[in-house]
Structure 1
């Protein structure tokens, strides 16, 4: 079952590559339709092995000093930087995204996140130790939760793996990660480099398989202490249901339908450029991508024509060409799903301003698409497209703009475009989302958290806030009196030698007052 050919090994368990025991599967380059590599997928039995391996490795890694864990992650970041171009090319080959995005966003962002958690490993904060009760010293311990089961998506394979793995490793946890079976290559490379960096064998394990069996087995595994998932809301709910059978803790980063609110005093040029970049990043296959432009009436037609003009300049083509702005989508199956939603919008009478037609030729390509005059009840407005599609609608006043922004079950990200500081502050307060950008949309930084509310999930990735997902809080309370009998013991067992009695304590010979006497006393 073990193989030394890491280009075809679907899994990485105990520090060595492993072929799975399931079906044969091909990783396809969606831009060309050609096969990148073929592998044998993992099965639930392989999940059992990986989880047992992670459990066996937990004690050593959990007991390592923060400095030791930090050193491993620093070395890993350096190795990732050394192999940055290999990561970028591999990421493009399995996703179809443009090489410029991989080189300038995906890979450097992943390296920075790894470096950040190398530092965070040595910064465990807690309430100050003190004698809060007066006769005990109380202190807080932050301890690794245990074995982490992570399930990551296909849109940002490397970044999502890093977001889940690095805070878990910094906290002292061991990990079993299941990447999407269509994009496992950079996750497997990350695991190999982690061993080279000195991570103990078995601390980081990869199992590549279908979500319906391997993902379900990992989410419902009784020996996993927390399940973390990034993906669609529907699948996230299934993951949570599987974890609930064992009462397993869950962290979810799910779908989004981000509003892009343009107030009547906005810098129109900035809003137009921002809307194009924010709606087309990664081919729109981004949960935080701008999907619903909600624009003030006085700017509406200028905004629509401006976005259409900029979209017309976007070059779509070979992902390996540095001049390509937008590559293919992740698969022809997903491309057809996006195209179907646009066709239904067109059939419903919505105005497709630009794009909206599947190009001829090979590859899972779909052009930048702008749809105007979209009502709040339209499918394309309400449901997640996850493609290069931006809808535009208008609003009447500030109250209406905020209402429309919040008229969605999702709450991952949003942006507001205005020169008015008070409007900006109101948008930041009142738009329900895990992140609200002001006069920008998309930038993320390792120091700040990422995560949503509502149908977009709960819990955080990135930043030191994400460490809380992988740590348990323990209160240690130590007596400082050295007394055998503590003052509070008398609550449970009376001190027979104690002549002191509370005013309400009755002696055996005391005569209980009559009701009349009680009434007289009260009077």
Structure 2
């Protein structure tokens, strides 16, 4: 860590990062028997802190702690008290927002202004929304066609939830999983990415400070192949909730099938962002650039496939480039930064391999594509114009600051092309014609469609994909339902 980086850190952030971190089990951080992993600052390539590669024995302790809390104090707590504690948890996230934001900016490289304006409010919103649910989870009386019989249902928690979060939104994704799982009455073992673990560990400390019983929230750090595998294969884990890559999602789906666990998956996307000639071009182009380059394009719902009606293609490209030119690449803690680095050297090399495939395909790199700094994993915002639908840069999720731009000539041509990919997470439509907007939106194979906006997100609105983008919804009542099961009770009155 550099002296400049240290000078931008809060005292409590510096203290927390200066310590080596183990797993958080039964209300306290604990040493593990495994090896350790250096966490790097992607803007400087320097070590921030050291976390544990939690070994199998320690994972077992974490799950046992969660199981004990589920069967004990948290599992028997009254709904009104559960609501009170979740509201207190949200209060503490707000009170510690400045510190929590710095962890995600340091480890993930995301500009701190983005973390403060997007990630933190969304995390608090999740807890506020789901804190209202425990007293409203109800069963139903079932009117069966059997005489002298009373039948009713109960909505019950599943048990221990393995919540596995990605490196791009560590705090926000932890909240998206923790809040509904806890509101439903489950306990959680949270496994953050080994690249971005600090905010999740700090959340576990805040859970205890809020008054949640020890064992209700546990955190195990480490790699997916090591710690993650030990967690999801544990026999006392009842549910896997995963956000991340399609490849890992497929592996976890197979694991859940073998052990018959509940599972929900929020995976990748290659999201068509459609601009018709009758749209507000200036506004559409501003959103196109923002959503393509936000967090260096490392966002599952990034509008990374911009499909533009041919008559306004040049106008949109020019406006997008103007917005891209205005971005300031820099360190996550530097408040002048509006775009940070990619997450790692390996990930930047992957993105660059996609750029190298463009030559000879008929497409052109309109701007960007170069490394911009001597240190850190930075890459310029980039646009590729004219690739075919089958080109890898169109068909696959690049997960970097690379916007592919394709012209179209009609709705009849557009819709099959927009739906031709393997993903179905989100889509955007820009038009001043209301009928056209509804016509296209209803035909798009995407879990969320934004019209004349993009990337709006709220705890009350279900979010999740179709096709290879996964199954199971976050947010809203659907986000709670996936952490509950239904028990049916038959009573003879004869």
Asked whether the two chains share a fold, i.e. TM above 0.5, the reply is: yes
Relative distance call for 1:431 and 1:125 in structure 2 (3 A) is farther
Correspondence for 2:89 among 65, 76, 91: 76
Partners of 2:181 and 2:255 lie apart in 1 by: 21
Mapping of residues 289-438 of structure 1, within 5 Å = 289-346=302-359, 348-438=361-451
SS in 1 for 2:384: strand
Q: Does 1:37 align with 2:52?
A: no
SS in structure 2 at match of 1:201: coil
Q: Once the 2 structures are TM-superposed, how far is the Cα of residue 127 of structure 1 from its aligned partner?
A: 3.5
**Secondary structure in 2 matching 1:392:** strand
Name the SS of the counterpart of 2:468 in structure 1: helix
Q: Is the CA contact 2:155–2:487 (under 8 Å) kept in the aligned structure 1?
A: yes
Runs of 4 or more, structure 1, over 3 Å off, are 4-7, 125-134, 346-349
For the 8 Å contact 1:359–1:366, the answer to whether it is kept is yes
Give the conservation status (yes or no) of the 8 Å contact 2:158–2:483.
yes
Give the Cα separation in 1 of the matches to 2:131 and 2:409.
Answer: 48
Task: Give 1:401 shift.
Answer: 1.3
Question: CA offset at residue 126 of structure 1?
Answer: 4.0
Q: Is the 8 A contact 1:343 1:356 kept in 2?
A: no
CA distance in 1, matches of 2:384, 2:68: 54
How far residue 155 of structure 1 moved from its aligned partner, in angstroms, is 0.4
Partners of 1:19 and 1:39 within 8 A in 2:
no
Q: Which residue of 465, 478, 486 corresponds with 1:465?
A: 478
Instruction: Tell me what 1:510 maps to.
Output: none
Query: What is aligned with 2:22?
Result: 10
Structure 2 match to 1:506: none
How far apart in 2 are the matches of 1:228 and 1:297?
41
Q: 1:163 aligns with which of 173, 176, 191?
A: 176
Distance (Å, rounded) in 2 between the aligned partners of 1:329 and 1:411? 24
Greater shift in the superposed pair: 360-369 or 95-104: 360-369
Greater mean deviation of Cα atoms: 143-152 or 121-130: 121-130
User: Could you give the per-residue CA deviations for residues 462-512 of structure 1, whole angstroms, max 9, x where no partner exists?
Assistant: 2221111110111222223xx3xxxxxxxxxxxxxxxxxxxxxxxxxxxxx
1:345 aligned counterpart, secondary structure: coil
Task: Work out whether residues 275 and 309 of structure 2, in 8 Å CA contact, stay in contact via their aligned partners in 1.
Answer: yes
Matched-pair contact (CA < 8 Å) for 2:37–2:222: no
Residue 112 of structure 1 is matched in structure 2 by 125
For 1:362 and 1:198, how far apart are their aligned partners in 2? 43
State the match for 2:293 in structure 1: 280
1:58 counterpart residue number: 70
CA shift for structure 1 position 116: 1.0
- Describe how 1:188-337 pairs up with structure 2 within 5 A: 188-337=201-350
Give the equivalent residue in structure 1 for 2:136: 123
Q: Residue 132 of structure 1: CA displacement? A: 5.7
3-state SS of paired residue (1:341): helix
Q: Report SS of the residue matched to 2:240.
A: strand
Which stretches in structure 2 are left out of the alignment for 5+ residues?
1-14
User: Structure 1 length as normaliser, TM-score?
Assistant: 0.89
- The question of whether the paired residues in 1 share the 8 Å contact of 2:160 and 2:187 is answered with yes
Q: 3-state DSSP class of the match of 1:393?
A: strand
CA RMSD in angstroms, aligned pairs only: 1.6
Q: Displacement of 1:349 after TM fit? A: 4.3
User: Aligned equivalents of 2:373 and 2:437: distance in 1?
Assistant: 44
1:5 is displaced (CA, Å) by 8.2
Q: Which residue of 1 aligns with 2:149?
A: 136
Residues 241, 265 of structure 2: 8 Å contact kept: yes
Deviation at 1:442, TM superposition (A): 0.7
Shift of 1:62: 2.1
> Cα offset for 1:379?
0.7
Shift of residue 111, structure 1, vs aligned partner: 1.0
**In 2, Cα distance between equivalents of 1:396 and 1:95:** 39
- What's 2:104 paired with? 91
Q: Could you list the runs of 5+ residues in structure 1 that have no partner in the other structure?
A: 484-523
- Give distance in 2, aligned partners of 1:376 and 1:42: 43
* Counterpart Cα distance in 1 of 2:331 and 2:261: 44
Q: Are the counterparts in 1 of residues 138 and 154 from structure 2 also a CA contact under 8 Å?
A: no
Aligned to 1:27: 39
Task: Determine which of 89, 100, 103 is the counterpart of 2:113.
Answer: 100
CA distance in 1, matches of 2:394, 2:88: 45
Moved more, 262-271 or 71-80: 262-271
Contact 2:278 2:432 in 1 (8 A): yes
Alpha-carbon distance, 1:88 to partner: 0.6
Provide the C-alpha distance between the structure 2 equivalents of 1:473 and 1:260, rounded to a whole number of angstroms.
39
How many Å separate the matches in 1 of 2:115 and 2:358? Answer: 32
Q: 2:199 aligns with which of 162, 186, 192?
A: 186
1:311-352 CA distance string (max 9 Å, x none): 111111122222211011111221121122112224544211
Q: How many pairs were matched up?
A: 478
After TM superposition, the structure 1 stretch with the greater mean CA deviation from structure 2, 311-320 or 232-241, is: 311-320
Q: 1:62 to 1:129 in 2, by over 3 A?
A: farther
Q: TM-score, normalised by structure 2?
A: 0.94
CA distance in 1, matches of 2:51, 2:260: 34
C-alpha offsets along residues 353-406 of structure 1, whole Å, 9 cap, x if unaligned? 111111231011111111101111111011100011110111121121111111
